[in-house]
Structure 1
Amino acid sequence: MKIQEVMRLTGLTRKAIYFYEKEGLIRPRIDETNQYRDYSDADVDRLRLIAALRSLDFSVQEIKRLLDGQETPIELVRRRLAGIRQQKEQLDRAERVLAALCEEPLESGELLRRLRAEGASYDQSRRLDADYLAGRLLELFPGAFGRLLSLHFGAFLDEPLDSPAKEQAWRELVDYLDAAGEFELPPVLKELDALTESDFEHIRMASLEHLRPYLNPDDETYGRLLAQARAALNSVPFQAYNRSQAEFMAPLKRELAAKGFYEGVVSRLEVLSSSYRAYRDTLRRLQDDLGIDYGEQGLIVF
């Protein structure tokens, strides 16, 4: 069927349908005679399901995991419910604080002083939330640099700040990043600051989905990662890509190395995050099994 009929049956706009197709959630047949899309009943059913899940605030990445068979419906629902309950607890805490302040006849100066005190207390109470560190990272380092940190490391900051060792590692990480000064980011990375919140969140979730298989993979998943990496390394475009990426990132990598970035960040993240330790272990295992290393110019070498 044609897209006008799909729009009528699903209540979705043309742009939404094309977006879900671009994301790989539906794959309509293309009529080779005129290049028109031919949508099936199965495509319509999928779009109805997608629309229903989006109305319940499921992300595109969560829906993709469900449709790709990476997560069962009950696993998806339980994980989303846990996230909603955590968000609700955070909002309930904030509501109680603000409601209490509204009930007191405070002058403006006193109200601001109380807000500062209550804000500090609220921040302290949030430290046992699993998503505290990832959110705090963006609060402490706003702009392109903070978003770059969030893309690279935010996925691993998924544990509460629940031990003295983690508290110390977090303080040292923040102090290091704050004292390291400005980094000269490549122009394309500076554009991170111009993204809307929703666009950035979409990129962040895609990055998380890319990293997920590397966290404690079973034998089957690791075998798939190894095969994918070997195929990529042996592909014809790889040499050009390898060279272009090395040239693109080389100046930033040199600057990061000169400022002790890897020692300053990696060692602290390994204290803060078991998932980061697992990710590093998988990368080291792949590197050993593939017999690869990084040369002085940042090139991947065999």
Structure 2
Amino acid sequence: MNIKIAAEKTGLTKKAIKYYECEGLINPSKNSSNNYREYTDTDIVKLNLIGALRVIDIPVSEIKCLIEGNKSLPDIMKNTLNKITENISNLEKSRLIISNILNKNLEDYSTIGEQVRKLRETLEFSISEKKEFISTRLLKIFPGNFGKIFVNSYEPFLNITVDSDEKKDAWVKLVEFLDDLNEIDNTQPFIKLMNSIDVNKIEEYRQKSKEDILENFNNNIFIEKIKKQYVEFIRFMNKDKEKKKIFAKSVSQTMDMFNGLGVDENIFDEYLEILNEDYKQYRQIGKKFMSEIDEELKKEFGFTAKEFFENLKTTEN
């Protein structure tokens, strides 16, 4: 059959059929009397296969390997699937970055390039690199001993794997959030107070705190012990007005420090809950823990923990 009939049988254009011939995918014979190409039923089967594989984006070079017997069809499809998956992942990362820039209404061309580079690089970070990135950024925001204690409280939950669209989105937003935070002034009273603490005690606290978080945040006995200590602390503060006043001043200084960040620091916890399942569980236990404490405080004192801290504002004055 001639090329016109071959095109009708396969749905391919004459140009496509000639291209596949030039690439060595088919080798039709020539009619000696008129020098026209003659296509056999075997050629039609090959052309139908070639057309089908091209529809699903399998490269001509791979199809040639299949026809020549150098690769099997399952192997070619697996390789193509892996490449498609990688392309989808890269496109998704680009989508997240573009959406982020659009949401921030960035119009300064001098900063957009740096922004894109930073977000793309952090998406490719390994687990350890992500952990180091967050820790380093937090230590820069919170200087001195307080920064070390602050980072330590999150350290067990900073092993982050960005393996879903939701996590990729949360990671990009977390990076942006950390980038937007103002750095705390070293002269803040609370920071100065924390910097007066013995460095060795910080390290001792760091080790103990990490062990407590990892080993005991699912331990009911440990949680009950902390609850009792919490209620006892409130009880003690309620009895000693002078100590309560000192504590109120410390809390006020802490709040002033966090207010200087320029954004809502609770967003960090929301993103980390998405990125780390253990932290999500830890926060759920913490909420249940605080709910139970509030019940006890309400019963004994008539206020919740939140109300106690809000009332400290009047105590300081």
- Same fold (TM > 0.5): no
What is the TM-score when the length of structure 2 is the normalising length? 0.43
What is the TM-score when the length of structure 1 is the normalising length? 0.45
Rg larger for: 2
